[in-house]
Amino acid sequence: MPDLLRKPFGTRGKVHEITPANAGWRYVGFSVYRLQPGDTASEHTGTREVILVMIEGKANIKGAGQEWGVLGERQSVFEKTPPHCLYLPNNSDWTAVAQTDCVIAVCSAPGRGGHPARRIGPDGITLTDRGIGTNTRYINNIAMEAEDYADSLLVTEVFTPAGHWSSFPSHRHDEDDFPRITYLEETYYHRLNPSSGFGVQRVYTDDRLLDETMAVSDGDVVLVPRGHHPCGAPYGFEMYYLNVMAGPLRKWRFVPAPEVQWIFDRDG
């Protein structure tokens, strides 16, 4: 099993590159660029569709033969304003030129050419709450099942207040048995506020053959190849993560961990 916790390998340019090959799975790809004004990032999507997410800052973007202008607005992800994103189908070129310090996420999965290039957000993305009590968190859905923007990709942002749990109660989506459950690989790109803080994420299967608990720092990526995957934000540290999921079917169906089934039954 490849390492589930991936640290940034630099501070400027491409700082993460998760591929199906180095993740040991079949579908999800995820990269992050950290750029300074004037820096350029450029790629060809090949056989994969891509959603570019402007995590922070502004960049002038060209893609799929079109000029998209300057995308991005928030200077800190913890402003919680809706993100500016761009969907690009397979066999597309794209180039981003940073206008400010910026962080760009590149979310990818197998593409079939079923959707045209298009802006996603900020219009149409509304911060919504999920959960109750210290399980409350706040969601910016970018391209989930209800948004027919992509062939394979499911992408969302989650803000977890300090002292709260997230991706909880524990659940898994690691079997291809729709409508009971779907097989979806998943990445978590974590940010912390203050950035000197830490969070905790566990990835475990019911039989505990996989059971990893990781301290995540600002900018880390966690891979979820299978199993349950809750995370927590200690008191004093607010947590953000960008989720990317993909599998053979673009639907999110999950099964709770046996030990938390009673919470689902109680809270709905």
- Write the pLDDT tens digit of every residue in 190-246: 999 999 999 999 999 999 999 999 999 999 999 999 999 999 999 999 999 999 999
Tell me the C-alpha distance between 209 and 3, whole Å.
15
- What does the pLDDT read at residue 268? 61
Is residue 117 within 8 Å of residue 67, measured between CB atoms? no
- pTM, entire model: 0.97
Three-state DSSP at 261 gives helix
Kindly report the length of the chain.
Answer: 268
Whether the predicted pLDDT of 1 surpasses 60: no
Which residue do the tokens 């050419």 mark?
113
Pairing between β-strand 165-166 and β-strand 231-232 as defined by DSSP bridges = antiparallel
Measure Cα distances from 128 to 74, 158, 209 in Å: 18, 10, 35
Tokens of 181: 């459950």
CA distances 41 to 88, 103, 202, Å, are 15, 11, 33
pLDDT at position 265: 86
Q: Is 108 a residue whose pLDDT tops 90?
A: yes
pLDDT per residue as tens digits for the range 41-96: 999 999 999 999 999 999 999 999 999 999 999 999 999 999 999 999 999 999 99
Contact assessment for residue 267 and residue 132, using Cβ atoms and an 8 Å cutoff: yes
d(CA 6, CA 149): 28
Domains of the chain as residue ranges with CATH: 5-267 (2.60.120.10)
C-alpha of 239 from chain center = 13
